[in-house]
A = this chain, B = another copy of it.
Amino acid sequence: MRAEVPASGVENPWVEEVQISGHIIDSLILPKILDLITAGRGSFRIKQITIGQARTDPSFALVEVQAPSREVLQDILAQISDHGAVPTALQDCTLVEADMEGAFPEGFYSTTNQRTEIRIGGRWIEVGDQEMDCGVAVNPAGTEARCVAMSDVQKGERIVIGHAGVRVFPHQRATQRQDFEFMNSSVSTEKPKGVAIRQVAQEFFRTKAAGGKSLLVGGPAIVHTGSGEHVCQLIRRGYINTLFAGNALATHDIEQSLFGTSLGVHLEHGGLAEAGHEHHLRAINRIRRVGGIRNAVETGMLRSGIMYECVKNNVDYLLAGSIRDDGPLPEVITDALDAQRQMRTKIRDVQFCLMIATTLHSIAVGNLLPAWVKVVCVDINPSTVIKLSDRGSFQTVGLVTDVEPFFRALVTELNALESGR
């Protein structure tokens, strides 16, 4: 039986009671939910509130949501459910079979990147492969649920419809804060960076020590700015387990290895060698002629650089294509959907992700990662960092700084951590 009923009052006839728990004050969850209710043209009545007396104590609130129509009420519930507001009148989720391939049924539940459970037969089941902007598919037995991308929907799959029977557990800032103290105002360029870089080093160090997996998502500026050797060190020392990049990073890295230039700039003396753009193309052409990066390493043609170290150290690399690519290198996955599918597989067990100097790949990976994976995004351009946080990847800690000095300092900090053992 539904608790959602027309209220007796005239103006707000539709009502539903929701509960919220956790660090709802400290994490700004309650204010956010109350704000959404009002902004969505509803109103609220706080029926009960218990606020944790210490910072680590959880709080609890019981809120009655009122709305002028059923549609408005549903819209509001949909929004606040993404922030952890769960109707107290429990009900199972609604499942509908997909009537076609590659599209959801109308009214499908659209996922967040937060931990989510759905209720089937009175039991709460955790949703697997959590990823934002997907649907939730349930196996025929109704015992397992997982996120499914729109383009991967199979006809006949059972898909969750609406927000009923779905609950979301928002990632709570309070906890996270101890990890990254510097996250408060991430786009400022006038904050001390030393602390932030040390924390990134600690994250790499802890992840490696715990046998976890770290992912580097990087753009070609890593090579342009002369940071390639720093990244090679991180790879050789086991800090980077997976690399996501595009054709450009790999090509400039290989160009640098074969010709000593990156986009025509001689890295060791900074002068311009204008033939550089030719070098770029010739590097790709040579790799295509030998059939790929791995072959180039094995035949001894490629003897240094980031891609060389990836092959030698079994780093799981993925090169995703884009329409601005020259060539591209044989390993580049030119189909965007293919690339997304392969990235999904490779991020399943990532614990820490460093995104650096690439807007395209950072946003793509940010879309795929669940909220509990720690992400640090480094770029010298504040707008990249702003874009990432504008798009809902709110777990992302942004750091506006320069690529090469960042990596140089990161290696120094890791040296300190290692010798401190």
Among A51, A322, A325, A367, the most chain B Cβ lie within 10 Å of the Cβ of A322
Q: What CA separation (Å) do A273 and B75 show in the bound complex?
A: 10
Q: Does A406 contact B (CB under 8 A)?
A: yes
Tell me whether A213 is interfacial, beta carbon within 8 Å.
no
How many copies altogether?
4
Query: Contact: B51 with A46, CB < 8 Å?
Result: yes
Kindly state the separation between the CA atoms of A193 and B363 in the bound complex, as whole angstroms. 24
- Cα(A188)–Cα(B360), bound, Å: 18
Q: Is A102 an interface residue (CB 8 A)?
A: yes
Query: What's the nearest-Cβ distance from chain B to residue A381, in Å?
Result: 5
In the complex, the answer to whether A181 meets B278 with C-beta atoms within 8 Å is: no
The A340-392 residues at the B interface (CB cut-off 8 A) are 340, 343, 359-361, 363-364, 367, 380-383, 386-387, 390, 392
Which of chain B's residues have a CB closer than 8 A to the CB of A133? Answer: 277, 280-281, 326
Considering the complex, which residues of chain A in the window 317-335 have a beta carbon less than 8 Å from any beta carbon of chain B?
320-328, 334-335
Q: Does A207 contact B (CB under 8 A)?
A: no
Segment from A89-97, A117-125, A220-228, A303-311 that makes contact with B: A220-228
- Shortest Cβ distance from residue A338 to the other chain B in the assembled complex, whole angstroms: 8
For chain A, the bracket of interface size reads 35 or more
List B contacts of A155 (CB < 8 A): none
A297 within 8 A of B: no
Residue A299 lies at the interface, judged by CB distance under 8 Å to chain B: no
Contact B405 A188 (CB under 8 A): no
| A419 contacts B by Cβ under 8 Å | no
Interface string of A26-40 (1 = CB under 8 A from B): 101011001110111
- Interchain CA distance A172-B285 in the complex, whole Å: 31
Contact (Cβ within 8 A) A190 B75: no
Give A residues with C-beta under 8 Å from B: 25-26, 28, 30-31, 34-36, 38-40, 43-46, 49, 51, 53-55, 75, 78-79, 82, 100, 102-104, 106, 108, 110, 132-133, 150-151, 181-182, 184-185, 187-196, 199, 220-221, 224-226, 262, 265, 267-275, 277-278, 280-282, 284-286, 288-289, 320-328, 334-340, 343, 359-361, 363-364, 367, 380-383, 386-387, 390, 392, 400-402, 404-406, 408-409
10 residue pairs of the A-B complex, CB under 8 angstroms, read A79-B274, A104-B285, A150-B284, A150-B326, A187-B187, A195-B268, A322-B322, A328-B337, A334-B337, A382-B386
The 9 lowest CB-CB distance pairs between A and B, nearest first, are A405-B405, A195-B270, A192-B226, A323-B364, A103-B288, A321-B336, A324-B364, A402-B402, A401-B402
